[in-house]
Amino acid sequence: MESVGIMADNIIRLSKSAIGEAEKKAVMDVLDREYLGMGNEVREFENMLSRFFDRPAVCVNTGTAALHLALQSLGLGPGDEVLVQSLTYVASFQAISATGAKPIPCDVDADTITLDVEDAKKRLTDRTKAIMPVHYSGGMGALDEIYEFAENNELRVVEDACHAFGGYYKGKKVGSFGDIACFSFDGIKNITAGEGGAVVTGDETVLQKVRDARLLGVEKDTEKRYKGERSWEFDVIQQGWRYHMSNIMAAIGIEQFKKLPAFAARRKYLAKKYRENLESNGSIEFLKQDLNSIVPHIFVIKLKSGHRDEIRNKLLEKGIQTGVHYQPNHVLSLYNDGNSLPVTEEIFPRLLSLPLHSDLKDSDIDYICEQLIECLN
């Protein structure tokens, strides 16, 4: 979700890409070769990701496309239901409804803002085919309990891990285990490809369906694209989409991936610095997260009282962008089924996202915290 607001040299941005000369050179190399579509760079990026996760990764053009194709590969369609927390970006819901299935909004755990498993259990029906835990801000919540619930009810699990690239859950790399994990490489994620996403799974049937569906359903076209060729005679047996990643995007992603250790360390450090500066303030609550294990994509605080919009306006006057992640989906016209989610509805007006990206300076964090405390006082 891109940052919005005043754009000026002296603004502290909520989020931004961190791009250097290596990414620029990599893009120019692709432009000079004049093969911009899906080819060798995409294959190289996929291979890097597959080694990183120790299981196959398939790249697509957005994180939303990754979620959509992962769900489609499971055969979901009209009449099916997918359990998902309401407090997530609308992309999670759109990916579900794009298959024809119905997203079933669930409440969140107040401490982690991840899926409340007990609430999800209440919404299970004979139409439920999958569950989508959202790794909000990089945290995974009660993932073991979600997988146990899914196994007991023969549900597939599609992890919306778009916030969680590079993070660990109980010592295991997110994406290296479980059913299906989907990642995003958009402009402000932990690493970026400009845009882009990936589906990671050990299920070869899912992988092949995703590979074909990203190329308009053309069967086994992937290998030819890697060689700079294409299929002229082919068959199509499933609905496909133009969701493939381009060499330009992959070239950026390759260079960004090399920087992941530095980016991850910086994000963790900045999140910890926020906590140190703000922990004595009684007007603020933090998410329950292990900042040594996750790579925080956003830094979200919970205000103990209201006045969030007033605080946001005051901070913007001081040159500080803030955000709200996210408006609950069950209040949107398309997904409003009339049900109430008490924890989500109580907590949403108190959520405030502070600037977090690897280019922030220590002095920026100090200034943001000083101004926030002044507003709260």
pLDDT (tens digit per residue) in 325-336 = 999 999 999 999
Verify that 224 and 296 share a domain, yes or no: no
Mean pLDDT of the chain: 96
**Which tokens in the block code for residue 148?**
């146990």
Name the domain count of the chain: 2
pLDDT tens digits, 268-324: 999 999 999 999 999 999 999 999 999 999 999 999 987 999 999 999 999 999 999
- Known catalytic membership, residue 273: no
Pairing between β-strand 156-160 and β-strand 180-184 as defined by DSSP bridges:
parallel
The stretch 111-117 carries a mean pLDDT of 98
Q: What is the DSSP letter of 355?
A: P
**Which tokens in the block code for residue 357?**
């990206």
300: containing domain = 260-376
Q: What is the pLDDT of residue 2?
A: 40
Verify that 181 and 284 share a domain, yes or no: no
Place of tokens 């597959």: 50
pLDDT reading at 1 higher than 80: no
The stretch 190-204 carries a mean pLDDT of 98
* 144 contacts 117 by C-beta, under 8 angstroms: no
CATH of the domain at 129: 3.40.640.10
pLDDT tens digits, 137-189: 999 999 999 999 999 999 999 999 999 999 999 999 999 999 999 999 999 99
pTM assigned to the model: 0.96
Verify that 241 and 293 share a domain, yes or no: no
Verify that 216 and 325 share a domain, yes or no: no
- Alpha carbon 291 to chain centroid distance? 17
Verify that 246 and 293 share a domain, yes or no: no
pLDDT reading at 3 higher than 80: no
C-alpha 238/C-alpha 265 separation (Å) is 42
Percentage of residues in the chain having pLDDT higher than 70: 98
- R_g of the chain computed on alpha carbons: 21
Amino acid identity, residue 221? D
* 85 contacts 268 by C-beta, under 8 angstroms: no
CATH of the domain at 340: 3.90.1150.10
Given 189, 227, 302, 361, the catalytic residue = 189
Q: Helices 308-317 and 362-376: crossing angle, nearest 10°?
A: 130
pLDDT tens digits, 10-44: 899 999 999 999 999 999 999 999 999 999 999 99
pLDDT reading at 93 higher than 70: yes
C-alpha 207/C-alpha 133 separation (Å) is 20
pLDDT reading at 243 higher than 50: yes
How many CB atoms are closer than 10 A to CB 220? 13
Asked if the structure places residue 6 within a domain, the reply is no
